[in-house]
Chains A and B, each alone.
Chain A
Amino acid sequence: MYNYDAKASYHNMDMSTAFISLLFVFMLATFVGLDVIRRVSRLLHTPLMSLTNAISAIAVVGAILLAGEAETPFSTALGLIAVFASTTNIVSGFLITDRMLKMFKRRDPGS
């Protein structure tokens, strides 16, 4: 990725451009997020929150990388707990969102 032996100042400069490009991603994603969420029906705010619970469990990606690279027993252990915690959120978040959404029905023409 970058040269570990380089002088700290150079190292930091290289990092700072990488960091700013990440800030770009964050800014754009926030704008998209605000715009998309604003359009979500108020009826569905509870399922929305459980869905975003599941989505923010994307932390599982970082947890897998940490646990899978297995650098030290300590980092592996923390990574595995984090994988467990995120998996719980993914599974329960998607399942309960779908369970709630199934309940939203229009008036059936029969009654």
Chain B
Amino acid sequence: MSAATELTYLVSTALFIFSLKWMSDPKTARRGVFAGVVAMALAVGGTLIHHEIVTYRGIAIAFVLGTIVGVPLSWVPLTAVPQRTALSHAFGGLAAGLVGTAKYYLWLPTEELTTFRMAAIAVEIVLGYLTCTGSLMAAGKLQEVLPTRPITYRNQNFINFGLFGLAVVIAGWLVVDPSKPFLFPILIALALSFGVLLILPIGGADMPTVISLLNSYAGLAAVAMGFVMENKLLITAGALDGSSGLILSIIMCRAMNRSFTNVLFGAFGQVQAGGGAAEQRTAKSATSEDAAQILENANSVVIIPGYGMAVAQAQHRIRDLYEHLAKRGVDVKFAIHPVAGRMPGHMNVLLAEAEIPYDRLVEMDDINPDMPQVDVALVVGANDVVNPAARHDSKSPIFGMPIIDADKAKTVMAIKRSMNPGFAGIENELYFADNTLMLFGDAKAVVGDLVKQMAGGESVH
């Protein structure tokens, strides 16, 4: 590498760090994107001036094709952002896997495969290819072209661990003796199939954790590529991505009170169905008229949205409701559970799109101390994240999971299609509490009705 290239890389690295630093606040975040774009332009430019590059035509064509595919991918609706993200992890993993593969076959005949290089290549292709197929599986499940329910079979964990162990043994063998070219395709095949098998048993509610984990893997694959190519920029930028994915995975796991191993090998959602059905309890329901009146007379309302809100496309109606109440002087806040939605922070983006000001969005830990003073908690499309059983029922599968204390509000209103229990068949005792009123129906229709009732009262319509 020439000094000019290395210097460009140095500036690029600094800008990448600033880019992430500016994401700490919504006010500076767009500047962060700009810094990232400049950093990437410098990295690409610095690489293109490298003297060993002899052909540009193919690269130019690949740039154009990548742009043609990339631009429409940035127009997806925000509900589809998790799929797009998974797809992008798949592309990242693929790029790392392919570069590692090519480097192996380039260095094999010239005997340049030192121990370190071989080890780095092995890590790069295993991480790269498993991220590729695993992310494609995750994207398929999120897009619902694949079944979203966890797919389990007997001895699943045994087979997964066995395959992984085999991959480690083969990788180790290659590191000791790289001149066994028949082993290399086997390693690739193992990594590709391990990615698929790893995601099969994972259900929709675990997607935020899995996406974060794959994000981390994609970054680490880039780091491994950096070790193969002996390129510090690749290592730094990859490490930034890897640590970001790691932190997000940890936050997601904590928010569900589960460990990595439990998410990956626990096949949540298969067990504990039924059981609670024996006890017949009745829930109180309310009409939209009554509900609208209670909401209007409240001083403070906390809206607790879940993925169901996004499925029903109710967020714009929610915004109308928010505006009506705010106009009447009601203090309206939104309580966001870290795992609400299909990826970290998903709910915030969906509400921001509906033009709900971000200073109204409050994190779980910040809102919970205030919940006993709240007049109305309105639950829209959330279920497990407001189930009080998580606090006290040690038999519940979600026991120990931090929840939003909706039940502590003076009145709770929950919008639900029917009394069918949600994901994993866990019954929610919140719906049977004395202070809970059920509003049955589609979230979009119910919230629309509430808004109409309020507007009617003001005789605007």
Contacting residues, chain A, for B70 (C-beta < 8 A):
87-93, 95
Q: List 14 contacting pairs A-B, 8 Å CB cutoff, sorted by A.
A: A4-B110, A45-B248, A48-B248, A52-B20, A53-B218, A58-B40, A59-B96, A60-B44, A76-B58, A83-B63, A85-B94, A92-B73, A104-B29, A105-B357
Asked whether, in the complex, the Cβ of A84 is within 8 Å of the Cβ of B359, the reply is: no
* A-contact bits for B218-241, CB 8 A (1 contact / 0 none): 110111011111111111111111
A22/B232 contact (C-beta < 8 A), A42-B345, A49-B215, A63-B99 known: yes
> How many chain A residues have a CB neighbour from B under 8 Å?
87
A95 to B326, CA, bound (A): 33
| Chain B contacts with A in 334-366, Cβ cutoff 8 A | 336, 338, 343-346, 348-349, 352-353, 355, 357-361, 363
Main SS of chain A's interface residues? Answer: helix
Asked whether, in the complex, the Cβ of B227 is within 8 Å of the Cβ of A19, the reply is: yes
A56 CB to closest chain B CB (Å) equals 4
Range for the number of chain B residues in contact with chain A: 35 or more
Asked whether, in the complex, the Cβ of B43 is within 8 Å of the Cβ of A101, the reply is: no
B307 CB to closest chain A CB (Å) equals 13
A107/B74 contact (C-beta < 8 A), A40-B20, A64-B44, A64-B59 known: no
Q: Which of these, A51, A87, A93, contacts B23 with CB under 8 Å?
A: A51
Q: Which of these, B55, B229, B355, contacts A68 with CB under 8 Å?
A: B55
Q: Which of these, A52, A65, A88, contacts B244 with CB under 8 Å?
A: A52
A40/B85 contact (C-beta < 8 A), A47-B349, A49-B212, A61-B231 known: no
B293 near A: Cβ within 8 Å? no
A63 to B359, CA, bound (A): 42
B114 near A: Cβ within 8 Å? yes
Asked whether, in the complex, the Cβ of A29 is within 8 Å of the Cβ of B357, the reply is: no
Contacting residues, chain B, for A84 (C-beta < 8 A):
62, 65-66, 69
| Chain A contacts with B in 16-73, Cβ cutoff 8 A | 16, 18-19, 22, 25-26, 29-30, 32-34, 36-72
A101/B29 contact (C-beta < 8 A), A52-B241, A58-B40, A62-B234 known: yes
B76 CB to closest chain A CB (Å) equals 7
Task: For the A-B complex with A50-B81, A59-B225, A84-B66 known, give 8 more contacts whose Cβ atoms are closer than 8 Å.
Answer: A33-B239, A36-B240, A37-B248, A57-B95, A64-B47, A74-B105, A101-B30, A101-B33
A7 CB to closest chain B CB (Å) equals 12
Asked whether, in the complex, the Cβ of A49 is within 8 Å of the Cβ of B344, the reply is: yes
Of the listed residues A40, A55, A71, the one surrounded by the most CB atoms of chain B closer than 10 A to its CB is: A55
Contacting residues, chain B, for A93 (C-beta < 8 A):
70, 74, 88
| Chain B contacts with A in 254-309, Cβ cutoff 8 A | none
A67 to B59, CA, bound (A): 7
Asked whether, in the complex, the Cβ of B344 is within 8 Å of the Cβ of A45, the reply is: yes
Contacting residues, chain B, for A83 (C-beta < 8 A):
58-59, 62-63, 66, 95
B402 near A: Cβ within 8 Å? no
Query: Which residues of chain A have a CB within 8 Å of any CB of chain B?
Result: 4, 11-12, 15-16, 18-19, 22, 25-26, 29-30, 32-34, 36-72, 74-76, 78-108, 111
A92 to B91, CA, bound (A): 12
Asked whether, in the complex, the Cβ of A69 is within 8 Å of the Cβ of B52, the reply is: yes
A91 CB to closest chain B CB (Å) equals 3
Contacting residues, chain A, for B74 (C-beta < 8 A):
91-93, 95-96, 99
B389 CB to closest chain A CB (Å) equals 25
A82/B26 contact (C-beta < 8 A), A29-B236, A98-B33 known: no
B112 near A: Cβ within 8 Å? yes
- Residue in B closest to A94 when the chains form the complex, CB atoms: B37
Q: Which of these, A11, A25, A33, contacts B242 with CB under 8 Å?
A: A33
A41/B92 contact (C-beta < 8 A), A58-B40, A58-B43 known: no
B56 near A: Cβ within 8 Å? yes
Contacting residues, chain A, for B357 (C-beta < 8 A):
105-108
B418 near A: Cβ within 8 Å? no
Q: Which of these, B26, B63, B358, contacts A87 with CB under 8 Å?
A: B63
